[in-house]
Amino acid sequence: MSTKILKYETIAFDLRKKILSGFYKQNDQLPLEKEMCEEYDTSRITVKKAMDQLVLEGLVVKRRGAGTFVKDVENPDADVLQSMQFMGFSEENKHKNVSSDILKFEIINPDETTLNKLRISELDFVYHIIRVRKIDKKPHALEECFMPINLISGLRMDIVASSIYTYIESVLGFSIQSAHKTVSAVMPTEFEKEYLAIEDVAPILNIEQVAYLDNGQPFEYSNTKYRADKYEFHAINIR
């Protein structure tokens, strides 16, 4: 598996951190490509790839003839929420009775979307996990996630049934840094209605997430469906 952090990823991570920490504020212009080439001692092509990554994440926008600017994430039309501080389901509900029903735990070759989100090759394998997250034995979320097996090694059924994030930080020694989330309302499938115990025909919330370690490497791609009556989303924009 190719887990080496490339130069453009390092640059993108550094700029991402500066944006989310407030060093670069909303609508600020980023340094010109020539200036960044000198700062990071690299080529224009590498800088361009880093900027394209930030555009893809919804953090910056390129304006023809003017340069690259930090996107206004407080715009109500923006569909991207960024957080430098976030927790997993277990930690968010640590004072409640949290449990999980594991519906699937397997190792697979990921599809193209997952490859791109995790920045891995088509020869790599990932954990494929589907689990129902419960509070007081009542379903709150249906989570499907993918993690590279050569990065997040040693996952077991008991870990998946409790807290994967705790295992990543406490046992593997990684530091989880940030997440890129897109929140949307979707109609539930029959499968989702069954495991979320939904009877009415009403939208549910889907949170698509790519989570990153502190070196800028993505370690998780997930889609989590939440019952709309059981979930409140709070965004923290600055660590």
Contact 23, 238 (CB under 8 A): no
- SS3 for 198-230 is CCCCCCEEEEEEEEEECCCCEEEEEEEEECCCC
Cα–Cα dist 211/168, whole Å: 12
pLDDT at residue number 17: 86
Q: What is the pLDDT of residue 151?
A: 95
Please name the residues in contact with 147: beta carbons below 8 A apart, sequence gap of 6 or more: 118, 126, 127, 129, 155, 164, 219, 220, 221
Instruction: State the alpha helices, DSSP H only, in the chain.
Output: 7-21, 33-40, 44-56, 89-92, 112-118, 157-160, 164-170, 190-195
Query: Tens of pLDDT along the chain (239 residues)?
Result: 344 557 888 898 889 888 888 899 888 999 999 999 999 999 999 999 998 888 877 788 888 777 899 876 444 334 444 443 455 676 666 667 888 999 999 999 999 999 999 989 999 999 999 999 999 899 999 999 999 999 999 999 999 998 899 999 999 999 887 788 888 999 999 999 999 999 877 899 999 999 988 777 889 999 999 988 776 665 544 33
Do 193 and 213 form a contact (C-beta atoms < 8 A)? no
**pTM, 2 dp:** 0.65
